[in-house]
């Protein structure tokens, strides 16, 4: 891994848009996971584990940040690895040239 790659990763990860999105994901997903994992503690029938609680919020934050940053880096370093944006359902996307190419091939 090059030094530029690591610098870019850090730079993208510190962008306010990325941090805000990751924080929103962490709050929503972390809350749901905490209710599942520590439901007994929330209702009072068990002790609340603060370390578990913090990790339950940290993991979705890290995953959301990594996903966003890795997509941005892929666009910068290897845009061809992202593939095309055409739907995989077999339907033709608006503005696609697939219809025109099919009509041209059937005319010959």
How do residues 14-27 score in pLDDT, each as one tens digit? 999 999 999 999 99
Domain assignment present for 53: yes
Longest Cα–Cα distance of the chain, Å, equals 76
pTM of the model as a whole: 0.69
Domain assignment present for 25: yes
How high is the pLDDT of residue 19? 97
Which carries the bigger pLDDT value, residue 92 or residue 2? 2
The Cα–Cα gap between 61 and 16 comes to 14
Q: Which residues constitute the domain of residue 66?
A: 3-80
Q: pLDDT by residue (tens digit) across 29-68? A: 999 999 999 888 888 889 989 999 999 999 999 999 999 9
Q: Work out how many domains the chain is built from and give that number.
A: 1
Domain assignment present for 39: yes
The Cα–Cα gap between 99 and 108 comes to 15
Domain assignment present for 28: yes
Domain assignment present for 85: no
Which residues contact residue 60 at a Cβ distance below 8 angstroms, ignoring those fewer than 6 apart? 25, 26, 29, 30, 33
Q: Give the residue carrying structure tokens 């040239």.
A: 97
Q: pLDDT by residue (tens digit) across 77-107? A: 777 766 666 655 655 555 555 544 455 555 5
How high is the pLDDT of residue 87? 59
C-alpha dist (Å) from residue 7 to 13, 43, 97? 10, 45, 39
């Amino acid at each position: 891994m090059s030094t530029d790659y690591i610098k870019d990763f850090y730079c993208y990860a510190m962008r306010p848009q990325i941090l805000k999105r990751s924080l929103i994901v962490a709050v929503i997903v972390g809350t749901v996971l905490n209710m599942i994992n520590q439901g007994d503690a929330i209702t009072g029938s068990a002790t609340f584990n603060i370390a578990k609680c913090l990790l339950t919020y940290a993991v979705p934050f890290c995953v959301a940040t990594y996903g966003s940053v890795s997509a941005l880096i892929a666009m910068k370093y290897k845009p061809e690895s992202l593939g095309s944006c055409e739907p995989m359902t077999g339907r033709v996307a608006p503005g696609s040239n697939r219809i025109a190419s099919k009509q041209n091939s059937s005319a010959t």
